Amino acid sequence: MRFYLQKIGFYVVALWAALTLNFLIPRLMPGNPVDILIAKMGAAGQPVTPGTRKALSIALGQGGGGNWLQQYGEYLVNLAHGNLGVSVVNFPENVTTVIAQALPWTIALIGLSTIISFLLGIGLGMFAGWRRGSWLDNLIPVTTMFQAVPYFWLALILVLVLTRVFPIFPYAGGYNVNSGLVPGFSLQFIGSAIYYGFLPALTIVLSSIGGWMLGMRNMMVATLSEDYIVTAEAKGLKPSRVRLTYAARNAVLPSLSGFAISLGFVVAGSIVTEQVFSYPGVGQLLWTAVSNDDYALMQGIFLVISLSVLAANLIVDLLYGLIDPRTRARA
Amino acid sequence: MTITRKRLLIGAAALAASAALALSGCSGSSGSTKSASGSNSTVTLFNGSVGNFTENFNPWLTTGAELQPTQGVIYETLFYYNMARSQDPVPLLGTKYAWNSDGTQLTITVRTGAKWSDGSALTAGDVAWTLNHYESTASLNTLGQTWTTKQDGDDVVLTFPSTSFTLEPQILGNIAIVPEKIWSKIPDVLKTTNTKPVGSGAYELDTFTPQSYTLKKNPNYWGTGDDAPKIETVRFISLANADAATSALESGQVDWMGSYLPTLKDIVKKHPNVAYVNTADSTTSIVTCSNADLGCTGPQTDVAVRQAIYDAMDRTQLNAQALNGFGEPGSPTLLVPAVNKKWVADQANEMLPEGADAAKAKSTLEADGWTLNSKGFYEKGGTELDLTINVVSGWTDYDTVCTLLKGQLQKAGINLTVNQVAQNAWSNSETTGKFQLSLNSVNPGASASPYYIYNNYLNTAATAKVGSPSSTNTSRFSDPAVDAALKTLASTNPSDDAALLKEYGTIQDTVVKQLPIIPIYVNQALTEFNTSHATGWPSADNLYAFPEPWKAWDAGIVLKAIRPAK
């Protein structure tokens, strides 16, 4: 019990630190939302007059202001009520609504591709470690090369080849908007969404599978030299049983904790992926928020990201105790 | 042990299932793309939106948070002011207007027989309520002006405390008229997203999703014949970048967009259905923090230095390399020659020089007491002629201009440092005056009239000391002669051309000498069309509206004018 209480206590402190940083960092950036709005209005051909700044400040609720300490207090109180404020870019829409629109896309795309990449990686890694020196070992340098190539470069090349030279996949978007599909749980929509998400998912899998594979292979090799494996083989167990339940189960432990942490980062999405593929997720939203000094929206997104990373870590910490009894025991 | 195996099996099954889904997705969607090109009375419009759309059709907003067709397509103004060419305002919900002789009273006649999209009548009462609500609400009144509104039958009469000719385009052409019965019940009109808009425009909202939304013809629209919409459906989509936009244009998935595409000429050659029009937009210029009295520091506060920069730059090269030659020559008067040629008082000030004249720049500096040092740069009183220009990193045409300028100015003994910053930092330093040079553009104001440019960029009332935010005059320019001319212009009847030209002449003479803003070229707005679904788009010969799809109010005019392709 003490073990779990200590863990949870630590995460409460970490949460407070994350919330405070969320509040501080956006405010350290230069500029303010009214200036950016005025610049954009001028460029969009809206007449900007000396009265514009005053009216906008009143509209966006910056008339009174208040110092940072006051704002910090209000921020914490609002957070406790689940109120993340009003987005400036999407004024007067609530930040929660805006994030709720983007979140499912990112979770579906990045989440699924992370899971696929993990499963494929450890699967291949397991076989590569089991049969050292086979052709699978030659696959490892190839996958690590994909990981070493800058991600955006790989993505752009795939876009060029698979959407332009051979137009197999669409180049942008979350689903076919021209077909008049409405997002929902219809087979047609899900099919279209998967088709549109395939190429971005492919780039993510290609660029991350190498790490899982290499890690799993090496752990597998180490585990196979353990005495209990020899014992199992000597007992005459089937090779598939030795491979899966004796070697792989122990070899996968380090990868599993890495996997849980990378699941935490799923919400952060991949800003680059979403930019390259015009994917309507959180990464693109964050980009818009940052380039418009939309404090409320930035805070909201950072909050969701830090919460999910913390939650994933907490769950791993707690689960790890279950999976691997050695971490629980006090020597 | 067995549990573990089951888990792995489930994992493998999930993997197989997702692969199968992905494959079925591939084959499933080819059918849905086909159905998209079925109806030919739909046009698809890309106005530069990136990411998810947030459902917001609030006509009172001007911040860009409202979805773009709110202004002009769903809601209309009283008149339409064309910024693309000099022409009289086009009657929309107003049929005529008149000023009294001293410009304190504006009488607007409201169109009779117009209806809201829900079928109820649009009356002068709605117009009066809208104008009054705008005027009396501090957060809406971006003009910062007061008036009283009175309804008189089909007329609405606005009475101003002083001469107010210059408010005309903003009031008549930039305030969306809304139905009183809906909006009078909303306590703070800015705090609503108005997801079921009832407007008077040619189109009404049909369907909305965060990735795309469609408008359909408004059956109650007042316009008939040429004024009636002829396309059934208009779809708005968002794309992330110019690359995606190029593909969409080439494949016919977008009919109307306004992106700068460097390879446009090749695309048009390859695709006979793609057409484009190149419209004068704004003057790309170097804004200088010019006024030492208001706290500006640096060599650019010296008029000889600004003059030297003006002469030393090679505008032909800048246009050719930064804009692929799509730019047009500008005017030192800050006006756009293509639109406002007739308002340049002195012929000599009409056009900017094209090539560089380093010798002239050098002699200007030497006459001002600058001497060349051993490094090849000028210096005065021991200080070298070093200047820093702020530019937004990632705005590639601007970045190219700055890189080239560095080399061009070096030939005239000026040491230019390019400071690439994020947009926030760039706009913040310009507003607060903490900069030396800043690459920006001179945008027109409420109408094509030169008054708005001069009043925004040169009026002392629109500036502030360095450190406090200036509203529009970021060069901190202040000149009594210009202020006086602006004051006279504001009280001159807009139809008295000779009187206006005289005052413009005064302002232009000062600006050309003082150069608080150093113009480079006229940045052109490229608009691309696909003519296979609809025809009748604006063209270089017939700019009946500013053709960019992102332009407020103009999209409504264009969407009324286009018709299905045969």
Q: Give me the DSSP letters along B136-156.
A: H-TTT-TT----EEEEETTEE
The reply to whether B195 touches chain A by the CB within 8 Å rule is no
DSSP per position, B110-136: EPSS-B-TTSPBP-HHHHHHHHHHHHH
Query: What residues contact residue B249 under an 8 Å CB cut-off, 6+ apart?
Result: B257, B261, B267, B274, B528, B530
**CB neighbours of residue A309 within 10 Å:** 19
Contact B421, B399 (CB under 8 A): no
User: Does the structure show a pLDDT above 60 at B34?
Assistant: no
**pLDDT range class, residue A258, cuts 50, 70, 90:** confident
Q: Tell the residue number behind the tokens 């952060």, with chain if given.
A: A268
Mean pLDDT of A229-241: 91
Please give the span between the terminal C-alpha atoms of chain B, in angstroms, as a whole number: 70
CA distance A106 to A95: 17
Domain boundary among A81, A116, A138: A81
Predicted interface score ipTM higher than 0.95? no
* A135 and A54 co-located in one domain: no
Q: Is residue A211 part of a domain?
A: yes
* Cβ atoms B444, B336 nearer than 8 A: yes
- Stated as kind and residue range, the H or E segment containing B208 is strand B203-209
Pairing assessment for the beta strands B105-110 and B94-99 based on DSSP bridges: antiparallel
d(CA B129, CA B113): 18
Task: From A91, A40, A84, A41, select the one nearest A62 (Cα to Cα).
Answer: A91
pLDDT, tens digit (0-9, with 9 covering 90-100), for A298-319: 888 888 888 888 888 888 777 7
Scanning every residue of chain B, which has its alpha carbon at the shortest distance from the alpha carbon of A124? Answer: B12
Can the peptide bond before residue A170 be classed as cis, meaning omega within 30 degrees of 0? Answer: no
Residues of A in contact with B143 (CB under 8 A): 49, 51
Same domain? For A29 and A117 the reply is no
To the nearest 5 percent, what fractions of chain A are helix, strand and coil? 75, 0, 25
CATH H-level, domain B281-523: superfamily: Dipeptide-binding Protein; Domain 3 (3.10.105.10)
The pLDDT tens digits for A110-164 are 888 989 999 999 999 999 998 888 888 888 888 888 888 888 888 889 888 988 7
Q: What pLDDT shows up at residue B218? A: 94
Mean pLDDT of chain B: 88
A124 and A74: one domain?
A: no
Contact B54 A97 (CB under 8 A): yes
Which candidate from B25, B546, B551 shows the least CB-CB separation from A198? Answer: B25
Whether the predicted pLDDT of B14 surpasses 50? no
Q: Give contacts of B445 with chain A, Cβ < 8 Å.
A: 47-49
Give backbone dihedrals phi and psi of A118, rounded to 5 degrees, phi first: -65, -50
Query: Which residues from B are below 8 Å from A162, CB to CB?
Result: none
* Of A81, A105, A132, the domain-final residue: A81
pLDDT at A324 over 90: no
Do A165 and A236 fall within a single domain? yes
**Strand-pair partners of B79:** B91
CB atoms within 10 A of CB A266: 23
**Domain match, A132 and A5 both:** no
Claim to verify: residue A164 and residue A285 sit in the same structural domain = yes
A139 and A285 part of one domain: yes
- Is the CB of B472 less than 8 angstroms away from the CB of A41? no
Residue with token string 């025809």: B535
> CA A258 to CA B434: how far, in whole Å?
47
Within a domain: A141: yes
Instruction: Name every residue whose Cβ is closer than 8 Å to that of residue B431 and which is 6 or more positions away in sequence.
Output: A35, A38, B469, B470, B474
Rounded mean pLDDT, A197-206: 90
Give residue B289's identity as a one-letter amino acid code. C
For A48, the closest of B1, B472, B550 (CB atoms) is: B472
Side chain identity at residue B144, one-letter code: G
Which pLDDT value is given to residue A320? 73
Q: Is the pLDDT confidence value at B164 over 70?
A: yes
- Given a cut of 90, whether residue B299 has pLDDT beyond it is yes
pLDDT for res A45? 66
Find chain A residues with C-beta within 8 A of B145's C-beta. 51
Same domain, A38 and A152: no
| B208 min Cα distance to partner chain A (Å) | 9
- The C-alpha atoms of residue A151 and residue A18 are separated, in whole angstroms, by 28
Cα(B2)–Cα(B97) distance, integer angstroms: 86
**Domain B57-184 identical in fold to domain B203-279+525-564:** no
pLDDT-wise least confident of A40-54, B308-322, B331-345, B515-529: A40-54
Span B10-26, average pLDDT:
40
Task: Identify whether the C-beta of residue B110 lies closer than 8 Å to the C-beta of residue B124.
Answer: yes
Contact B131, B158 (CB under 8 A): yes
| CATH code for the domain in which residue A130 is found | 1.10.3720.10
Q: What is the pLDDT of residue B6?
A: 38
Q: A255 φ, ψ to 5°?
A: -65, -35
Q: How many whole angstroms separate alpha carbon B199 and alpha carbon A283?
A: 35
Question: Is A191 contained in some domain?
Answer: yes
pTM: 0.80
Q: What is the pLDDT of residues B210-220, one digit of tens each?
A: 888 999 999 99
Q: Which residues of B130-162 are buried (b: 16+ CB within 10 A; e: fewer)?
A: bbbbbbebebbbbbebebebebeeebbbbebee
B2 confidence band (pLDDT: 50, 70, 90): very low
Question: pLDDT tens digits, residue range B432-444?
Answer: 999 999 999 998 8
What are the contacts of B97-100 at 24+ separation with CB within 8 A? Answer: B97/B168, B97/B172, B99/B165, B99/B168, B99/B493
Above pLDDT 90, what percent of chain B? 64
- Within the 463-522 window of chain B, which residues sit less than 8 Å (CB to CB) from chain A? 469, 471-472
- Whether the per-residue pLDDT at B380 is higher than 50: the answer is yes
Instruction: Please state the rounded mean pLDDT for residues A189-205.
Output: 89
Nearest residue of chain B to residue A97 (CA atoms): B54
Domain boundaries, chain B: 57-184, 203-279+525-564, 281-523
Half-sphere exposure of A26 (CA within 13 A, CB side): 27
Q: Looking at the predicted structure, is the pLDDT value of residue B472 above 90?
A: no
pLDDT at A61: 65
Does A89 fall in a domain?
no
The topology (CATH level 3) of B203-279+525-564 is: D-Maltodextrin-Binding Protein; domain 2 (3.40.190)
Nearest residue to A290 via CA among A119, A88, A131: A88
* Whole-number Å distance between alpha carbons of A106 and A117: 16
- Which residue of chain A has the CA closest to B464? A50
Same domain, A194 and A244: yes
Would you call B172 exposed, middle or buried from its count of C-beta atoms within 10 A (0-12, 13-18, 19+)? buried
| Stretch A273-289: mean pLDDT | 84
Measure in Å the smallest separation between the Cα of B411 and chain A Cα atoms. Answer: 32
Mean of the per-residue pLDDT values for chain A? 83
Q: Which helix (H) or strand (E) holds B209?
A: strand B203-209
Q: Which CATH superfamily is domain B57-184 in?
A: Dipeptide-binding Protein; Domain 1 (3.90.76.10)
Please choose, from the candidates A30, A235, A103, the residue with its C-alpha nearest in 3D space to the C-alpha of residue B434. A30
Cβ-nearest to B239 among A42, A172, A276: A172
Q: What are phi and psi of A181, to 5 degrees?
A: -70, 145
Residue B106: how many CA atoms within 13 Å on its side-chain side?
Answer: 27
| B323/A323: higher pLDDT | B323
Crossing angle of helices A295-323/A2-27, nearest 10°?
A: 160
Instruction: Select the residue of A29, A163, A280 nearest B52 (Cβ to Cβ).
Output: A280
Last residue of a domain, one of A81, A104, A129: A81
The reply to whether residue B551 touches residue A44, judged by beta carbons under 8 angstroms, is yes
Element (H, E) at B380: strand B378-380
- Residues B343 and B359: their CA atoms lie apart, in Å, by 31
Q: Are residues A189 and A224 in the same domain?
A: yes
Domain that holds residue A193: 95-326
In 10 A of CB B163, how many CB atoms? 16
Q: What is the pLDDT of residue A135?
A: 85
SS3 label, residue B323: coil
- Taking CB atoms within 8 Å and a gap of at least 24, the contacts of B259-266 are B259/B46, B259/B48, B259/B526, B259/B528, B260/B326, B260/B397, B260/B526, B261/B526, B261/B528, B262/B324, B264/B326, B264/B526, B264/B528
Mutate to test the interface with B, among A105, A169, A179, A276 (most CBs of B within 10 A): A179
Which one, of B239, B147, B220, B132, lies nearest residue B178 by Cα? Answer: B132
pLDDT band at A64; cut points 50, 70, 90: very low
- Per the structure, how many domains does chain A have? 2
pLDDT (average), residues A219-248: 90
Query: In this structure, which amino acid lies at residue B545?
Result: A
